[in-house]
Structure 1
């Protein structure tokens, strides 16, 4: 019996010790603060800025003076006195076709003209002396006029055997070579005046009331990071019935680094500035629920954040416009949003003075 009492006492002491240990453990856990520490973030203020109203478009650059040169008549090429890519002057000879027949005809017609003029001058002298009938004089004058016309016709055929530059510019790749026989209409090369370039583009017709000649345009291409200034020159008088777009043309003021045919991105300044609330692009979080910013709010225990859905607008120089949902001067998180949640406590990196109260 005494042995049972000893065992019972030992069990009571053992279980009591375990219970005391567990009680102390749970008491310690109960008194522990599990509140997460403040999250380190960067912040900024929403700013009120004046932005221009703009319209985006795409277009194609073209030369104000640019042509594809082709042969007017058929024949064998006997001379190409220029090379691909040459700068040529207005009227410079670019290509000559075989013109031996026309040259021979020209010499014959020139001789006929000399004879016709001599006969006419002789008969003009005789008619004043009344030595010849009027009909003979009339025939001489008609023969002279016919000789002049025939010579002009031969010279015109001879001109068709030569291709000259209609204006000063830069030649493209010459697609033919000496000795080739070409037909009428065969493409020879292209000639572009690169000193004056234009860009053709189109916009939806609903923007017509906002468009007028003289608007400033910024032109960019994939070939260069530069922005080229341009001016709206013309607005088409009718809307394309298939696309419902309105065609426009702008003149580019500086053409260095641009070529006709390049694809261009255009930003049209509609000359209607507007006041907008803006933020750095990094301050906006994009999600299925909408574009969200984390707004800083003062609380009894420091700064906390709450998400707010906003409506955003255009982007300019790494800043984004907030059309609605945020007022100028409000403080928002600009870096570190991925760690935040509603009501999260935050501490500002370096605690900028603009966020202290």
Structure 2
């Protein structure tokens, strides 16, 4: 009998504890499901002697302004800022190749020499003929005052000298064509010829590239034609050098849209002082597109309800529910569109028991000059 009494008393105690827990938790569950609701138990517990709410502790921070940045991604191909395939101007036999693949050469440096014996002899003959014509003209000019030479003969001698000098210049050009020089500073590619080869004006002798900067050509969707501008900064990465990012600028933009791909061509110049980037490399290209400025808040301060997304704003120690539209998420922050401005005090933590008009005691996170807050204090989790 005593045992039954003990069990009865224990059962009643358990029921009482469960009822108390239900009454205590009812407000929290109601607030979570419907933040606008005002549970009766919360009113009773929150009422003081004058009928007002006690201040609910929360953590808040000031809204800041952030630019809406969109990153346009593309794939591009690199090419040297200056790059040529060098051909001979004349036909002939290769006498010597003075460079090897990878050599750095300066403008005017000799790369290849063609056999030039005939051209050297022709130059020497033209020089002799020019000297002879000049001496003849000198004798005629000395004899003309004495009446020994007619004026017409002097004129013919002048013409002959001019022709001889032109022939000498032509011989000099023909001889110079047998020596192939670097047209600019650059790096030599693999020579395509060897001494003894016969070449003509269609034969590639060697390639030369100046890669102090690399040109990266890529395509952008036509919907972004208004957003990409010459001088705009770009970032590029190449799969050949993982983990490294290089910065350049947009140099030129195509004037038309490709009707098949619905894209337009863009060329960016990327400095390459260490010659680590090479012509022909493929690149991932990133272009930052600046957009409008929007208020920015911590991600955890944005809530979802039946009417959509909203935040809690504090004014005169009371909170109000402000509907907002999410523009973009970035690095733990959310850009919002709505009735919110820079400097508005927004509840970050402690939102479970909030309702419009509720009095709060806010612990404000400290903020730096950019408006991005750092935590200072603790409060109820959201």
TM range (shorter): 0.5 to 0.7
Q: Does residue 232 of structure 1 match 2:250? A: yes
Count residues in correspondence.
263
Gaps of 5+ in 2: 1-62, 301-324, 338-345, 350-376
Q: Structure 2 residue aligned with 1:116, among 117, 120, 133?
A: 133
Q: Is the 8 A contact 1:279 1:322 kept in 2?
A: no
Aligned match of 1:73: 90
For 1:68 and 1:355, locate their aligned partners in 2 and report how far apart those are by CA, in whole Å.
Answer: 71
For 1:172 and 1:103, locate their aligned partners in 2 and report how far apart those are by CA, in whole Å.
Answer: 30
Q: Is the 8 A contact 1:216 1:269 kept in 2?
A: yes
For 1:109 and 1:149, locate their aligned partners in 2 and report how far apart those are by CA, in whole Å.
Answer: 9
For 2:292 and 2:278, locate their aligned partners in 1 and report how far apart those are by CA, in whole Å.
Answer: 32
Aligned match of 1:156: 173
Q: Structure 2 residue aligned with 1:245, among 246, 260, 263?
A: 263
Within a 5 Å distance, the mapping from 1:131-170 to structure 2 comes to 131-170=148-187
Rate the CA distance shift 1:115–1:264 in 2: closer, same or farther, 3 A: same
Aligned match of 1:106: 123
What displacement does 1:241 show?
4.3
Q: 4+ runs of 1 displaced by more than 4 Å? A: 47-51, 273-280, 310-314, 319-324, 328-331, 352-355
Q: Does residue 266 of structure 1 match 2:285? A: yes
Q: Is the 8 A contact 1:52 1:274 kept in 2?
A: no
Within a 5 Å distance, the mapping from 1:203-242 to structure 2 comes to 203-224=220-241, 225-242=243-260
Task: Deviation per CA, 1:218-248: give whole Å up to 9, x if none.
Answer: 0111111211110111112233344343222
Aligned match of 2:381: 356
What displacement does 1:112 show?
0.7
For 2:262 and 2:114, locate their aligned partners in 1 and report how far apart those are by CA, in whole Å.
Answer: 47
Gaps of 5+ in 1: 1-46, 281-309, 332-351
Q: Does residue 53 of structure 1 match 2:70? A: yes
For 1:201 and 1:64, locate their aligned partners in 2 and report how far apart those are by CA, in whole Å.
Answer: 15
Task: Deviation per CA, 1:56-97: give whole Å up to 9, x if none.
Answer: 122111121111112222211111122221111110110011
What displacement does 1:111 show?
0.7
For 2:380 and 2:145, locate their aligned partners in 1 and report how far apart those are by CA, in whole Å.
Answer: 111
Q: Does residue 82 of structure 1 match 2:99? A: yes
For 1:190 and 1:148, locate their aligned partners in 2 and report how far apart those are by CA, in whole Å.
Answer: 35
What displacement does 1:200 show?
1.7
Rate the CA distance shift 1:106–1:74 in 2: closer, same or farther, 3 A: same
Rate the CA distance shift 1:121–1:238 in 2: closer, same or farther, 3 A: farther
Rate the CA distance shift 1:254–1:94 in 2: closer, same or farther, 3 A: closer
What displacement does 1:109 show?
0.7
Q: Does residue 95 of structure 1 match 2:120? A: no
Aligned match of 2:34: none
TM-score of the superposed pair, with normalisation by structure 1? 0.63
TM-score of the superposed pair, with normalisation by structure 2? 0.60
What displacement does 1:52 show?
2.3
Task: Deviation per CA, 1:249-286: give whole Å up to 9, x if none.
Answer: 11113443101111111111223365578979xxxxxx
Rate the CA distance shift 1:50–1:209 in 2: closer, same or farther, 3 A: closer
Q: Is the 8 A contact 1:215 1:270 kept in 2?
A: no
Within a 5 Å distance, the mapping from 1:6-85 to structure 2 comes to 50-85=67-102
Other structure's SS at 2:280 match: coil
Rate the CA distance shift 1:179–1:211 in 2: closer, same or farther, 3 A: same
Q: Is the 8 A contact 2:68 2:328 kept in 1?
A: no
Other structure's SS at 2:230 match: coil
What displacement does 1:143 show?
0.8
Within a 5 Å distance, the mapping from 1:258-297 to structure 2 comes to 258-272=277-291, 275=294
Aligned match of 1:11: none
Q: Is the 8 A contact 1:53 1:273 kept in 2?
A: no
